[in-house]
Structure 1
Amino acid sequence: MKILTWRAISRIVLMNSSCLAMHLYFRGKGEAGFSCPPVIEVFGSGFDLFSIIIIRCIFCSLVSFFFSSHFPARDLKRNKIRTLLDNQFSGCWSLRKLFLQNNKIRVISPKAFAGLSQLRMLFLSHNRISRLLPHTFEDLNRLEWLILDNNRIARITPATFSGLRSLYFLYMLNNSLAKIPDGSLCTETPKLSWLELEGNRIRAVRGAIFQQCRELTVLVLRRNRLQWIQSGAFSGLSRLVELDLSLNGLDELPPSLFRGLAALQQLNISYNPLKEICPSQFESLPQLLSLSLEGLEIPNIHNVTFRGLANLSHIYFKKFQYCSSAPHVRSCKPNTDGISSFEHLLANIILRVFVWVIACITCLGNLCVICMRSCVVTESSAHTMAIKSLCCADSLMGIYLFVIGAFDLKYSGEYNRHAQGWMASMPCQLVGSLAMLSSEVSVLLLTYMTLEKYFSIVFPFSYRRAGRRQTASVLAAIWLLGLSLSVVPLCCKESFGNYYGRNGVCFPLQSELGERPSARGFSTTIYLGLNLAAFITIVFAYTGMFYSIRITTCRTAESSVCPRDVAIAKRFFFIVFTDALCWIPIFLLKLLSLLQVEIPGTITSWVVIFILPINSALNPILYTITTAPFQEKVKGCLHVRRPELSSRQSFMLVVL
Structure 2
Amino acid sequence: MYGFKCIAKSQVCNMIEDCPDGSDESNCDDCILTQCSPDVCIPDHWSLNCSTANSLKMNETNEVTNLRNLVFSQYAEYQIVDLRSTLLSDFIKEKFFNNITVTGKVLADYKLCCSYFRGEKLPAHQCEAEEETLSTCEDLIGDSLKRVLLWIVALCAVFGNMTALGYRILFERATLHLTYVLFVTCLGVSDLLMGVYLVIIASVDVVYRGVYIVHKMSWKQSTLCQIAGTLATLSSETSTLFILFITLERFLTIRFPFGEHKISSLGKYVLISVALCFGLLLSVAPILFRDMSLYSNNGMCLGFPLRKSSGTAWIYSVTVFLFFNSILFVVIAIGQFLIFITISQQSSKFKSESQASARRADNITVALKLSVVVLSNFICWFPVCVLAIRTVFSDYEVTLETYAWIIVLVLPFNSALNPVLYTLPRISKSWTDFKRRQSTRVSKS
**Is TM more than 0.5 here?**
yes
Cα 1:411/1:301, change in 2 over 3 Å: closer
Q: How far 1:358 sits from its partner (Å)?
A: 0.7
| Cα distance in 2 between the residues matched to 1:232 and 1:604 | 39
Q: How far 1:428 sits from its partner (Å)?
A: 0.9
| Cα distance in 2 between the residues matched to 1:420 and 1:408 | 14
- Which one of the candidate residues 283, 286, 296 is aligned to 1:489? 286
- Is 1:395–2:192 an aligned residue pair? yes
| Cα distance in 1 between the residues matched to 2:437 and 2:101 | 78
| Cα distance in 2 between the residues matched to 1:568 and 1:468 | 19
- Is 1:369–2:164 an aligned residue pair? yes
Query: Which structure has the larger Rg over C-alpha atoms?
Result: 1
Cα 1:260/1:490, change in 2 over 3 Å: closer
Q: How far 1:581 sits from its partner (Å)?
A: 2.9
> How do 1:128-167 and structure 2 match up within 5 A?
none
| C-alpha contact 2:194 2:231 (8 A) present in aligned 1 | yes
Structure 1 stretch 315-324 or stretch 527-536: which is displaced more? Answer: 315-324
- Is 1:550–2:344 an aligned residue pair? yes
| Cα distance in 1 between the residues matched to 2:222 and 2:37 | 39
> How do 1:321-400 and structure 2 match up within 5 A?
321-323=111-113, 326-328=117-119, 329-331=122-124, 332-334=127-129, 336-374=131-169, 375-376=171-172, 379=175, 381-382=177-178, 383-400=180-197
> How do 1:177-576 and structure 2 match up within 5 A?
254=41, 259=50, 261=52, 264=54, 267=55, 269=57, 275-276=62-63, 279-281=68-70, 283-284=72-73, 286-288=75-77, 291-293=80-82, 295-298=84-87, 302-303=91-92, 307=96, 310-312=99-101, 316-317=106-107, 319-323=109-113, 326-328=117-119, 329-331=122-124, 332-334=127-129, 336-374=131-169, 375-376=171-172, 379=175, 381-382=177-178, 383-461=180-258, 463-493=260-290, 495-496=291-292, 498-510=293-305, 515-517=310-312, 519-557=313-351, 574-576=372-374
Look up the equivalent residue of 1:359 and give its one-letter code.
A
Q: Which runs of 5+ in 1 are unaligned?
A: 1-202, 206-227, 234-251, 651-656
| C-alpha contact 1:546 1:569 (8 A) present in aligned 2 | no
Structure 2 length as normaliser, TM-score?
A: 0.75
Q: Secondary structure in 1 aligned to 2:135?
A: coil
Q: Which residue does 1:187 correspond to in 2?
A: none
Q: What does the per-residue CA deviation read over 1:568-623, in whole Å, with 9 as the maximum and x for residues that have no partner?
A: 99757744542233212331343344346443333322111100112212222333
| Cα distance in 2 between the residues matched to 1:459 and 1:567 | 15
- Is 1:610–2:409 an aligned residue pair? yes
Look up the equivalent residue of 1:606 and give its one-letter code.
W
Q: What does the per-residue CA deviation read over 1:376-432, in whole Å, with 9 as the maximum and x for residues that have no partner?
A: 356562332222211111011111111111111111111111111111111111111
Cα 1:309/1:513, change in 2 over 3 Å: farther
| Cα distance in 1 between the residues matched to 2:51 and 2:86 | 26
Cα 1:522/1:560, change in 2 over 3 Å: farther
| Cα distance in 1 between the residues matched to 2:36 and 2:85 | 21
Q: Secondary structure in 2 aligned to 1:500?
A: helix
| Cα distance in 2 between the residues matched to 1:476 and 1:299 | 41
Cα 1:545/1:416, change in 2 over 3 Å: same
- Which one of the candidate residues 381, 385, 388 is aligned to 1:587? 385
| Cα distance in 1 between the residues matched to 2:384 and 2:234 | 16
| C-alpha contact 1:378 1:633 (8 A) present in aligned 2 | no
Q: How far 1:510 sits from its partner (Å)?
A: 2.9
Cα 1:253/1:291, change in 2 over 3 Å: farther
Structure 1 stretch 434-443 or stretch 358-367: which is displaced more? Answer: 358-367
| Cα distance in 1 between the residues matched to 2:369 and 2:283 | 32
Cα 1:295/1:570, change in 2 over 3 Å: farther
| Cα distance in 2 between the residues matched to 1:387 and 1:258 | 63
Identical-pair percentage: 24
Look up the equivalent residue of 1:376 and give its one-letter code.
E
> How do 1:61-72 and structure 2 match up within 5 A?
none
Q: Which runs of 5+ in 2 are unaligned?
A: 1-7, 11-32
Q: What does the per-residue CA deviation read over 1:492-547, in whole Å, with 9 as the maximum and x for residues that have no partner?
A: 10x31x21011111111237676423x23321221222211111111111110110
Q: How far 1:335 sits from its partner (Å)?
A: 7.9
Q: Which has the higher contact order (CA 8 A, sep 6+)?
A: 2
Cα 1:464/1:318, change in 2 over 3 Å: farther
| C-alpha contact 1:279 1:305 (8 A) present in aligned 2 | no
Q: What does the per-residue CA deviation read over 1:154-186, in whole Å, with 9 as the maximum and x for residues that have no partner?
A: xxxxxxxxxxxxxxxxxxxxxxxxxxxxxxxxx
Cα 1:513/1:607, change in 2 over 3 Å: closer
| Cα distance in 2 between the residues matched to 1:268 and 1:572 | 60
Look up the equivalent residue of 2:248 and give its one-letter code.
L
How many residues get paired?
394
Cα 1:302/1:540, change in 2 over 3 Å: same
| C-alpha contact 1:231 1:254 (8 A) present in aligned 2 | no
Look up the equivalent residue of 1:416 and give its one-letter code.
I
Q: How far 1:363 sits from its partner (Å)?
A: 1.6
| Cα distance in 2 between the residues matched to 1:504 and 1:454 | 41
> How do 1:52-63 and structure 2 match up within 5 A?
none
| Cα distance in 1 between the residues matched to 2:137 and 2:355 | 61
| C-alpha contact 1:370 1:388 (8 A) present in aligned 2 | yes
Cα 1:372/1:638, change in 2 over 3 Å: farther
| C-alpha contact 1:593 1:599 (8 A) present in aligned 2 | yes
| Cα distance in 1 between the residues matched to 2:271 and 2:164 | 21
Q: Which residue does 1:182 correspond to in 2?
A: none
Look up the equivalent residue of 1:522 and give its one-letter code.
Y
| C-alpha contact 1:279 1:304 (8 A) present in aligned 2 | yes
| Cα distance in 2 between the residues matched to 1:481 and 1:569 | 26
Look up the equivalent residue of 1:579 and give its one-letter code.
N
Structure 1 length as normaliser, TM-score?
A: 0.53
Normalized per residue, the structure richer in helix is: 2
- Is 1:620–2:414 an aligned residue pair? no
